[in-house]
Amino acid sequence: MSGINKAGVADQLVKAVVAVNPPLSLLFEPSSFTTLSAKVLLISGTRDWVVPSVPEAISPMQDTQAAQLGHWLVLVSGADQFSLRSLKGKSVQPCWGR
């Protein structure tokens, strides 16, 4: 089986997936949220110009009603594509999402 064919095979051992700033429109059809057996946690930043949060995270979650299926979106205010770094020793505010 080629690598591209293996990518389409479901794995029942996968229960959840975390994706940070994914370009959803390049990788998946919007309707694929409804067919996933694993739950998805998307993390996106409001200032991401590489993978903008509205077309790549917010709209797909709203359009497919993914939250009703158990999928989550964390939208980090002021974060961009390069914001994922250690915040050790810094005061941070909690993120609330869904």
How many CA atoms within 13 Å lie on the side-chain side of 85? Answer: 7
Tell me if 89 is assigned to some domain. Answer: no
For residues 97 and 60, give the distance between their C-alpha atoms in angstroms, rounded to a whole number.
15
Calpha distance 7→80 (Å, rounded): 28
Residue 52: the pLDDT is: 92
Query: Is residue 94 in some structural domain?
Result: no
Q: With respect to residue 26, please indicate whether it lies within any of the assigned structural domains.
A: yes
How many structural domains compose the chain? Answer: 1
**67 within a domain of the structure (yes/no):** yes
Domain annotation covers residue 5: no
25 within some domain: yes
By residue range, what is the domain housing residue 42? 13-76
Task: Decide if 38 is inside a domain.
Answer: yes
Look at the pTM and tell me if it is higher than 0.85.
Answer: no
Question: Is the residue at 61 inside a domain?
Answer: yes
Output the CA angle 17-21-23, nearest 5 degrees.
95
Average pLDDT by stretches of 10, the chain with 98 residues: 57 88 83 83 90 91 89 89 66 55
